[in-house]
């Protein structure tokens, strides 16, 4: 209950950012228009964001005849998790990663890259798919997809404002320094909010996935491999759409070092340590 309350507050903060940018663009009228736009974006994201995200990654739907091993693995794990069978997609990219999307368990989809399927063993891949199905079971996928869509829109709106400047409620040019500060800080704030939404949910999905698969060490091994190999393999689609990074099982963006402070994912070492502790607890 607390996680849902926290997420609701954070999503409200993203909507508030629309209002702040709108006010910088056009005073009170701009704020109202931006808030109206945010509402429409939320409604659109609720119904269509999963399709948009899958299209961004050129994901291709597969079934039992075209990808039997992956499809049957997801079906078995979905049955264990007690959720409807999601649609299954493959992304033709060498970067090892996977994500889940959709507005609810009845309309969910899971996607994996060809890179992750080549890299991991069947046991490790099962751990990854269980993690993604835990996101579905926890109903994280709607929040993740909407926050990705909204963050992308905030960045686009901020860029528009940077190009055309802001106005006050009477149509006069606003303070340029204040406007520039808002336009620069709003996308950063949106990223920080996404980070806050995503990090806690990744730990929960690791735990839930380990319980679904019954094999925490498989997911720990998968995370270790993905983290090692992903560093040298850029995920170009994710680089083009950085707002979707928080949906992935591992941060797909190439930035490291200080940029890691703004990562939407917890440190891989912390995730692996928790999974190993869970394995010890499960084995008594």
Residue 281 has pLDDT above 60, yes or no: yes
DSSP state at residue 61: E
Residue 69 has pLDDT above 90, yes or no: yes
The residues assigned a catalytic role are 132
Q: Collect contacts of 196-199 with beta carbons under 8 A, ≥24 apart.
A: 196/6, 196/10, 197/7, 197/10, 197/11, 197/143, 197/144, 197/147, 197/246, 198/144, 198/147, 198/246, 198/264, 198/265, 199/264, 199/265, 199/266
Identify the pLDDT of residue 266.
86
Residue 70 has pLDDT above 70, yes or no: yes
Listed by start position, the domains of the chain span: 49-150+176-282
CATH number of the domain at 49-150+176-282, out of 3.30.565.10, 3.30.70.360, 3.30.2010.10, 3.40.930.10? 3.30.2010.10
Element (H, E) at 106: none
Residue 216 has pLDDT above 70, yes or no: yes
Identify the pLDDT of residue 201.
82
What distance, in Å, lies between the first and last C-alpha atoms of the chain? 29
> What's the pLDDT tens digit per position in 166-201?
555 455 555 555 556 666 666 666 666 666 666 778
Output the pTM of the full model.
Answer: 0.76
């Amino acid at each position: 209950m607390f996680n849902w309350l926290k997420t609701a507050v954070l999503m409200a903060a993203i909507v508030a950012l629309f209002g702040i940018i709108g006010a910088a663009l056009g005073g009170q009228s701009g704020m109202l228009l931006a808030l109206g736009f945010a509402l429409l974006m939320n409604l659109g994201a609720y119904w269509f964001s999963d399709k948009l995200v899958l299209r961004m990654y050129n994901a291709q739907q597969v079934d039992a005849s075209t990808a039997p091993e992956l499809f049957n693995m997801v079906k078995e794990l979905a049955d264990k998790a007690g959720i409807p069978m999601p649609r299954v997609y493959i992304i033709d990219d060498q970067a090892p990663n996977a994500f889940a999307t959709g507005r609810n368990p009845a309309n969910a989809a899971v996607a994996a890259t060809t890179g992750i399927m080549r890299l991991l063993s069947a046991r490790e891949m099962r751990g990854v798919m269980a993690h993604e199905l835990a996101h579905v079971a926890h109903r994280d996928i709607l929040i993740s997809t909407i926050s990705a869509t909204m963050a992308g829109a905030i960045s686009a709106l901020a860029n528009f404002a940077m190009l055309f400047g802001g106005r006050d409620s009477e149509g006069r040019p606003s303070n340029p320094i204040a406007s520039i500060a808002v336009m620069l800080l709003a996308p950063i704030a949106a990223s920080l909010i996404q980070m806050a939404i995503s990090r806690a949910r990744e730990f929960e999905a690791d735990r839930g996935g380990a319980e679904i698969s019954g094999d925490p060490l498989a997911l720990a091994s998968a995370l270790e491999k993905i983290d090692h190999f992903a560093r040298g393999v850029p995920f170009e689609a994710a680089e083009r759409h950085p707002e979707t990074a928080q949906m992935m099982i591992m941060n797909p963006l190439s930035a490291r070092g200080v940029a890691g402070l703004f990562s939407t994912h917890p440190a891989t070492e912390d995730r692996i340590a928790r999974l190993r502790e869970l394995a010890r607890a499960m084995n008594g």
